[in-house]
């Protein structure tokens, strides 16, 4: 696995499902099998977000850092990011958005999913935790995934709040590959990519990088049977 794939700089590992949606080539078959099982059980599955490049993640990061994009806290409340010092801005953003180079979406192994057929009355997808909780439109989907996702190699890295990333009940990871990518990850290589790009808050990020990795990158749920 090359560093260019690991840190979101390459697309050579991808299979494109549409003009804008790609996942790792090795994830296509298990994803299709999961969809087929869901269909048999009366549930429609769709991917809201698959592969995301370093450049795309960088755009999201800088947009949130400078206040152009909304930042929410762990309680889903909007944060006035422009009033915070850089170190606090970074932590607030990391609650829901990965640092460029650390996103699991770079690998093509991780997907954000939903069920279009469960959206009713003209509602649109928000990708917020309440949608997947009891009483939300995707509660049935969440229950089904808890029962069946692992059968096809998927699990929830952000299954609950651990003091880092907020719960993401929509985020599935294909663990046979994702665990290999994570084991290869290291701060020295990441620092190189961060230093080579115009990322806002760069000096503070690099100074706090080991803490960021511990709290937000490696602080995730265990894969099944571990």
What the block records as the tokens of 148 is 């069946």
Helix or strand (DSSP H, E) at 91: helix 86-94
Confidence of residue 222 (pLDDT cuts 50, 70, 90): confident
Predicted local distance difference test score (pLDDT) of residue 225: 72
DSSP for residue 105: G
Q: How far is CA 32 from each of CA 27, 63, 84, 152, rounded to the nearest angstrom?
A: 9, 34, 44, 10
The confidence band for 223, taking pLDDT boundaries of 50, 70 and 90, is confident
* Rounded Cα gap, residues 73 and 92, in angstroms: 6
Q: How far is CA 167 from CA 73, 75, 104, 125, 156, in A?
A: 12, 11, 15, 17, 9
pLDDT at 121 over 90: no
pLDDT digits 0-9 by tens, 61-105: 999 999 999 999 998 899 999 999 999 999 999 999 999 999 999
pLDDT of residue 33: 98
d(CA 148, CA 145): 5
The angle at the Cα of 5, spanning 3 to 6, to the nearest 5 degrees, equals: 60
Compute the distance between CA of residue 115 and CA of residue 46 in angstroms, rounded to an integer. 6
pLDDT digits (tens, 9 = 90+) for 32-61: 999 999 999 999 999 999 999 999 999 999
């Amino acid at each position: 696995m090359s560093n260019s794939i690991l840190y979101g700089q390459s697309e050579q590992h991808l299979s494109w499902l549409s003009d804008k949606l790609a996942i790792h080539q090795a994830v296509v078959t298990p994803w299709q099998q999961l969809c087929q099982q869901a269909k048999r059980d009366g549930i429609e599955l769709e991917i809201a977000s698959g592969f995301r490049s370093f450049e795309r993640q960088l755009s999201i990061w800088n947009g949130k850092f400078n206040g152009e994009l909304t930042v929410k806290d762990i309680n889903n409340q909007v944060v006035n990011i422009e009033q915070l010092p850089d170190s606090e801005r970074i932590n607030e953003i990391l609650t829901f958005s990965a640092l460029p180079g650390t996103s699991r979406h770079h690998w093509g192994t991780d997907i954000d999913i939903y069920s279009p057929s469960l959206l009713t009355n003209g509602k649109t997808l928000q990708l917020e935790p309440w949608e997947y909780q009891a009483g939300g439109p995707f509660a049935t989907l969440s229950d089904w995934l808890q029962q069946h996702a692992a059968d096809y190699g998927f699990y929830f890295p952000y299954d609950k709040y651990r003091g880092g990333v907020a719960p993401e009940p929509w985020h599935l990871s294909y663990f046979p590959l994702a665990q290999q990518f994570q084991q290869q990850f290291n701060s020295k290589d990441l620092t190189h990519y961060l230093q080579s790009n115009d990322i806002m808050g760069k000096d503070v990020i690099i100074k706090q990088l080991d803490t960021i990795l511990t709290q937000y990158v490696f602080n995730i749920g265990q894969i099944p049977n571990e």
